[in-house]
Structures are given as structure tokens and as C-alpha cells.
């Protein structure tokens, strides 16, 4: 690449590099045009000669007086283009990774590694020259969503230290240009295929999760400073976290039953009642059931949670199912994509019983460390209702809508079935 740069002192070089360039600038081209403009004498129109170097476009002007600084900028932009165009504004991600103290040289490869369609985020791996690789998640939402995930990853890493769980270390976050969302940079972990189904991994995960729930909640902020947060339930500083796209109110509370009913269940019930009151693709009976059962469900939930009103506070992953776990090459269980808060340990077992269920050995291993307590299944019904309402509020009545009372199909019908059980309890 060095041979492309002119060496005469009074040479002007113009390069254009199109990474999502505005319409009209090199339209339809995927190559970079390098132009050297040689000025023969002051005031004389320079003669231009151009060569195409493989990349695409914007303009960087290299002036003789500041040649070294501008050369570095131009080389960096050309290198970004040569990495390939996988995302609008990807140069921001590259610069964020290269700015990390743990990055081993410049980024030499960027590729998309999103697990599949339908996700709210896209995933990219960025590999540096020295071999270090980072995962960058890019989402359409504000940076606050990734602030919550970063805090959750840090809290999980601190609490699970020495327990046999692997949590990717988050490094930095930021906003994409032109309001195109935000991003989070973390360590890239290599998952082995079907990790959550390997008996050895499943057993370790169950045991380690129970130990995590039994550990003290780390009261440190993301900056490493000691926290004055002293309420047992919620999250440090009342930081709002997100279950998928649903914002979770983590204002601290000393009564867990009160916290869960008021901060978790009531907002979901109110949103679902409003959303489905005009049927929204459901039967008339389903659309009125939410309002009909509303008061009795809240009362039934509080009664079911009475024995754990002052339970031991546990740091929760918050969205624990097989899709948010994995295994390293050495078969250590991995936890990713948390929706952390501090509450009752049993909550983390609920969502996996609805979708993405673990093999039986996971639950057996968990209960060997933390045995079931009386009323376990009644409380699971309350926690599962929260997840079902969350899915219905975010995604509608759900696949399988139209099932029978004996075998309810979609999210809403399953939620109503759980509400009926609570109302009768």
C-alpha cells in the first residue's frame, strides 16, 4: 500500500472512501479511486492522474504541510474499507475495539456472527492482528439498553468468580453514527456446538447456578467503587434492566412479595389488559379474561409469594434458558445476555420450563445444592406468568394461538391458563 503514496513535497492526494456515502458519490461502485494532483507552479491548475485501488469511498485531502497526520487518517479509512462493508458505520466499531488496552494491534477482520434472524441485535466478531477477538453487539435501541447489559455482565462475573461459570467481560459501549442505534464490545467466546445439551456441561451449570444464587450479592458499581445500595431486592442504584425489550423497574424494595407484584407482575398485566382489550386477534373471551382476573391474580400472586417475602436476595441472570447459555472448548458453562436483578433464586428456573428447557440433569444438579422449598410449584406459576405476559406484550398472542383449555397454545392463552390457576388458589 505504501507505494501508492506520492513522495513529492507539493503533491496533493485525494482519496475517496465510501462507507455508506451519500447518494451521488461514486454511485454503484465498490472500489476506491486514488488521485494524485501534482501542482507544477503556484496558481496553476494541477494535472490529475488516478488509479483504482479496491475499496469504496469518501474524501480525505492530504496536504503537503500536514502530510503525515493526513496520511495516517487516509490509510486508516482505506484499511477500514478493505476489511469489507458489513454494516453502516462499522468504522466506529473498529475504532472502539482498537482503542481498548487489551486489543492486540489493529483490526484485520470483521464478520457478522449473528446466531439467526429475528434477533433485536446483530453480532459481529472483530479480530485484531495479534489474535485477540472481540464480540460487538449492535442494536437499534438507545445505549441505555447496553448499559444495563454491561452492568449485568459485570455483576455476574463478580458474583460467579471461582464458581465454574464463564461470563464474557464487557469492555466499552457507545452510539452508532446518525442515530442508527448503539453497540456493546465484549470478549469473544468460542462456543462448542450443542454445549447446553452435553451432560457434563448441564450438570456443572445446575450446580454453579445454585452456588451463584447462594453467594453474596456483589455491592460494587461498574466503576469498581463501593456501593451504598442496601435494599435487598431490585438492582444497584435502581438501574433499569431489560427482559428482551421490556424495561424492568428495579427501584429498591425490602419486601420481595411487594416488589414482584408491583414492579414485575402489575405492569405486565396492565399492558396486556390494554393491548388485548379490543381483541387484538384473540377471541372475545380471551380479551376480557385479563380484566376479569386482574385483581384476583395480583392477590393470588402475593399469597403465593408470602413464604418468600423476606427470602435471601440472590443475583439473578433474569432470562435463563438454553439460548442464553453455552459451553467453552474446555466444557465450562457460559452465561450470556442477562437481564439481571436481585430477587428470589427460584425465578431463574421459571423461563426455561416454558421454552428452551434444559435436560433433567440440570434441575437435578441444581436441587442437589439448593433443595426445593415448600410452595415451589405455586411460585413457579407466578414467575412463569410474568414471562408469558412479557412474550404476549412484546410479540402478540403467539404461535399456536387457538389451542384448547386443556392444551393452550399461544403466549396469551398460556398466560390466561396460569391466571386461572392463580385466581382459584
- Residue of 287, 243, 285, 251 lying closest to 268 (CA atoms): 243
At 35, which helix (H) or strand (E)? Answer: strand 33-38
Asked if 134 and 188 count as a contact pair (C-beta separation under 8 A), the reply is yes
User: Using CA atoms, how far apart are residues 321 and 383, in angstroms rounded to an integer?
Assistant: 14
CA–CA dist 178, 88 (Å, integer): 10
Q: How far apart are CA 196 and CA 375, in angstroms?
A: 28
Pick from 241, 263, 268: which is nearest to 252 by CA? 263
Residues with active-site annotation: 319
**Residue whose cell numbers read 493526513:** 70
Give the separation between CA 238 and CA 249, rounded to whole angstroms: 7
Q: How far is CA 66 from the centre of its chain?
A: 42
3-state SS string for 133-191: EEEEEEECCCHHHHHHHHHHHHHHHHHCCCCCCECCCEEEEEECHHHCCEEEEEECCCC
In a 13 Å sphere around the CA of 268, the CA atoms on its Cβ side amount to: 32
What residues contact 273, with CB distance under 8 A and at least 6 apart? 290, 291, 294
Give the Cα separation of 423 and 299 in Å (integer): 8
**DSSP single-letter state for residue 52:** E
Residue 334's H or E segment, with its range, is strand 333-335
CA distances from 202 to 214, 252, 321 (A): 19, 33, 12
88 CB contacts (<8 Å, ≥6 apart)? Answer: 19, 20, 176, 180
C-alpha separations of 300 from 307, 310, 376, 380, 402 in Å: 13, 18, 15, 13, 26
Amino acid at each position: 500500500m505504501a507505494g501508492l503514496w506520492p513522495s513529492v513535497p507539493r503533491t496533493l492526494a485525494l482519496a475517496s472512501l465510501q462507507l455508506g456515502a451519500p447518494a451521488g458519490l461514486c454511485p454503484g461502485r465498490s472500489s476506491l479511486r486514488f488521485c494524485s494532483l501534482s501542482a507544477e507552479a503556484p496558481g496553476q491548475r494541477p494535472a490529475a492522474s488516478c488509479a483504482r485501488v479496491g475499496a469504496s469511498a469518501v474524501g480525505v485531502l492530504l496536504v503537503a504541510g500536514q502530510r503525515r497526520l493526513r496520511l495516517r487518517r487516509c490509510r486508516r479509512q482505506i484499511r477500514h474499507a478493505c476489511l469489507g462493508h458489513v454494516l453502516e458505520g462499522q468504522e466506529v466499531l473498529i475504532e472502539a475495539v482498537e482503542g481498548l488496552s487489551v486489543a492486540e494491534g489493529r483490526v484485520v477482520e470483521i464478520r457478522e456472527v449473528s446466531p439467526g434472524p429475528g434477533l433485536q441485535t446483530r453480532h459481529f466478531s472483530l479480530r485484531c492482528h495479534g489474535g485477540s477477538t472481540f464480540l460487538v453487539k449492535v442494536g437499534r435501541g438507545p445505549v441505555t439498553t447496553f448499559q444495563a447489559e454491561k452492568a449485568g455482565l459485570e455483576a455476574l462475573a463478580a458474583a460467579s468468580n471461582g464458581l465454574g461459570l464463564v461470563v464474557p467481560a464487557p469492555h466499552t459501549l457507545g452510539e452508532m453514527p446518525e442515530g442508527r442505534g448503539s453497540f456493546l464490545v465484549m470478549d469473544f467466546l468460542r462456543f462448542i456446538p450443542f454445549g447446553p445439551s452435553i451432560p457434563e456441561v448441564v450438570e456443572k451449570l445446575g450446580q454453579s447456578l445454585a452456588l451463584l444464587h447462594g453467594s453474596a450479592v456483589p455491592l460494587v458499581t461498574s466503576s469498581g467503587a463501593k456501593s451504598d445500595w442496601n435494599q435487598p431486592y431490585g438492582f444497584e442504584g435502581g438501574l433499569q434492566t431489560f427482559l428482551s425489550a421490556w424495561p424492568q423497574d428495579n427501584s429498591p424494595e425490602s419486601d420481595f412479595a411487594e416488589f414482584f407484584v408491583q414492579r414485575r407482575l402489575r405492569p405486565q398485566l396492565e399492558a396486556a389488559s390494554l393491548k388485548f382489550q379490543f381483541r387484538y386477534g384473540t377471541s372475545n373471551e380471551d380479551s376480557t379474561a385479563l380484566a376479569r382476573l386482574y385483581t384476583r391474580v395480583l392477590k393470588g400472586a402475593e399469597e403465593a409469594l408470602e413464604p418468600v417475602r423476606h427470602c435471601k436476595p440472590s443475583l439473578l441472570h433474569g432470562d435463563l434458558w438454553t439460548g442464553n447459555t453455552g459451553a467453552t472448548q474446555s466444557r465450562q458453562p457460559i452465561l450470556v445476555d442477562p437481564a439481571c436483578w436481585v430477587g428470589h433464586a427460584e425465578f431463574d428456573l421459571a423461563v426455561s420450563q416454558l421454552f428452551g428447557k434444559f435436560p433433567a440433569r440440570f434441575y437435578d444438579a441444581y436441587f442437589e445444592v439448593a433443595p426445593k422449598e415448600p410452595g415451589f410449584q405455586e411460585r413457579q406459576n407466578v414467575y412463569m406468568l410474568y414471562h408469558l405476559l412479557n412474550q404476549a406484550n412484546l410479540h402478540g398472542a403467539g404461535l399456536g394461538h387457538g389451542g384448547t383449555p386443556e392444551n393452550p397454545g399461544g403466549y396469551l392463552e398460556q398466560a390466561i391458563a396460569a391466571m386461572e390457576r392463580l385466581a382459584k388458589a
